[in-house]
């Protein structure tokens, strides 16, 4: 298959008029087309990689149901998210066993590639629990984590912890070579966070949310992450972080270290109403999802919509937003060798967009994933 005269997002983080040759679901080569940018009608970007979302279309990873994972994979692919690493919640150990076993047994049949699991909780801080269930919060437990990882068949890619809690530093020492450790739902100060990064943590979960703010005498986790070069997640749905703060974080961390995420819950793709997240009741009105006490409970959007919002309403360049929604998340969980960019040898996961950033068509593994009905493929 050949894609001709496309404005292709390249590994140098710029768009270039190019042709793409695909064979057996893999990108064979990307060749300059010799055309001008004005002669190319469509953008082609790497399929997006969401490393932190809980659910969509009425289902959730914590359902522990293979049909839920398939529904999630199919919806995400329809939106241009071609690789997923859904997140669990702070559930009881008994529930986590079922969740991880289900994820470990999941077989891809359609939709987005399943890259693994983001284990968000239960090793977090009660003080910064956010929408996590406090009754299920426990100290870091190496034995429990290893058992869950066996049940997940090695698919846990990220584990989120509060480094100030008992046993957290020892957990980092022991597990840093086996999984990406992310600082999350934490009340850690700058010094504690720096120590966690020095020991081997290298990621921050939903930056600015469920952590102390950046303050000039107490820079906290945000300041520590910037100094130590960690990857940081950001939810650009327009609810979780003010656009000015998004711009400030892009200046502080640069587009090299930011991973855009959706943090969506099961209401994503559906209408307003009552839903659940981690066993807790959630009310959705418009773009806002809240617990009964008003706590924000994830988002109701998807990563493609967050990327567009960052560009159209937050002043982030398209080139930077694409990098932060594809390459960086793939690097953060160690799968950049197969996805996250358009270059020879990688999976042919791509999104065709018009000049207004509307998704025209999605390709997953070299196969067209139709985003509409009764239309001729553009790819």
pLDDT of residue 374: 46
β partners of residue 159: 119, 181
Alpha-carbon gap, residue 141 to 324, rounded angstroms: 32
Written as six digits, the tokens of 83 are: 């690789």
β partners of residue 8: 16, 44
Alpha-carbon gap, residue 48 to 307, rounded angstroms: 9
Looking at the fold, whether 279 and 350 belong to one and the same domain comes out as no
- Domain contains 377: no
Looking at the fold, whether 150 and 93 belong to one and the same domain comes out as yes
β partners of residue 221: none
Looking at the fold, whether 363 and 270 belong to one and the same domain comes out as no
Helix (H, G, I), strand (E, B) or coil at 150: helix
pLDDT of residue 339: 98
Helices 243-253, 220-228: axis angle to 10 degrees equals: 30
Name the catalytic one among 50, 63, 237, 263: 263
Looking at the fold, whether 161 and 271 belong to one and the same domain comes out as yes
pLDDT in tens for each of the 379 residues of the chain? 888 889 999 999 999 999 999 999 999 999 999 889 999 999 999 999 999 999 999 999 999 999 999 999 999 999 999 999 999 999 999 999 999 999 999 999 899 999 999 999 999 999 999 999 999 999 999 999 999 999 999 999 999 999 999 999 999 999 999 999 999 999 999 999 999 999 999 999 999 999 999 999 999 999 999 999 999 999 999 999 999 999 999 999 999 999 999 999 999 999 999 998 888 888 999 888 899 899 988 899 999 999 999 999 999 999 999 999 999 999 999 999 999 999 999 999 999 999 999 999 999 999 998 665 546 677 6
Gyration radius from the chain CA atoms: 20
Alpha-carbon gap, residue 90 to 85, rounded angstroms: 16
Looking at the fold, whether 265 and 361 belong to one and the same domain comes out as no
pLDDT of residue 370: 67
Q: What are the CA-CA distances from residue 319 to residues 4, 207, 322 (Å)? A: 21, 21, 5
263 as an active site residue: the answer is yes
The enclosing domain of 40 has a CATH number of: 2.30.40.10
Cα-Cα-Cα-Cα torsion 148, 154, 160, 163, nearest 10 degrees, comes to 80
- Domain coverage including residue 186: 48-332
Helix (H, G, I), strand (E, B) or coil at 156: strand
Helix (H, G, I), strand (E, B) or coil at 176: coil
- Domain contains 337: no
């Amino acid at each position: 298959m050949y894609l001709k005269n496309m404005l292709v997002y390249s590994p140098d983080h710029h768009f270039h008029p190019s042709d793409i040759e695909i064979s057996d679901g893999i990108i064979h080569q990307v060749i300059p087309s010799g055309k001008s940018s004005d002669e190319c009608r469509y953008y082609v970007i790497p399929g997006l990689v969401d490393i932190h979302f809980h659910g969509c279309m009425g289902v959730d990873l914590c359902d522990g149901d293979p049909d839920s994972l398939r529904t999630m994979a199919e919806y995400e692919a329809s939106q241009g998210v071609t690789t997923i690493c859904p997140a669990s919640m702070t559930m009881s150990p008994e529930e986590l066993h079922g969740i991880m076993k289900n994820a470990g047994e999941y077989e891809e049949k359609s939709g987005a590639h399943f890259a693994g699991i983001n284990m968000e909780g239960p090793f977090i801080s009660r003080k910064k629990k956010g929408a996590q269930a406090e009754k299920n919060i426990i100290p870091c437990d190496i034995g429990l984590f290893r058992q869950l990882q066996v049940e997940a068949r090695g698919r846990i890619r990220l584990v989120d912890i509060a480094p100030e809690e008992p046993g957290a530093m020892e957990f980092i020492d022991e597990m840093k070579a086996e999984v990406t450790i992310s600082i999350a739902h934490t009340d850690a100060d700058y010094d504690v966070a720096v120590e966690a990064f020095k020991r081997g943590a290298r990621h921050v979960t939903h930056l600015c949310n469920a952590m102390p703010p950046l303050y000039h005498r107490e820079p906290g986790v945000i300041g520590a992450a910037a100094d130590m070069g960690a990857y940081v997640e950001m939810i650009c749905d327009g609810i979780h972080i003010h656009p000015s703060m998004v711009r400030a974080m892009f200046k502080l961390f640069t587009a090299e270290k930011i991973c855009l995420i959706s943090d969506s819950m099961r209401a994503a793709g559906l209408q307003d109403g009552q839903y659940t997240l981690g066993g807790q009741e959630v009310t959705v009105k418009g773009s806002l999802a809240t617990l009964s006490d008003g706590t924000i409970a994830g988002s109701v959007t998807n990563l493609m919509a967050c990327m567009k919002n960052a560009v159209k309403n937050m002043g982030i360049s398209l080139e930077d937003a694409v990098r932060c929604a594809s390459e960086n998340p793939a690097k953060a969980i160690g799968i950049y060798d197969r996805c996250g960019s358009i270059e020879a040898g990688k999976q042919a996961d791509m999104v065709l967009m018009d000049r207004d950033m509307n998704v025209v068509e999605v390709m997953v593994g070299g196969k067209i994933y139709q985003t509409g009905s009764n239309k001729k493929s553009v790819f």
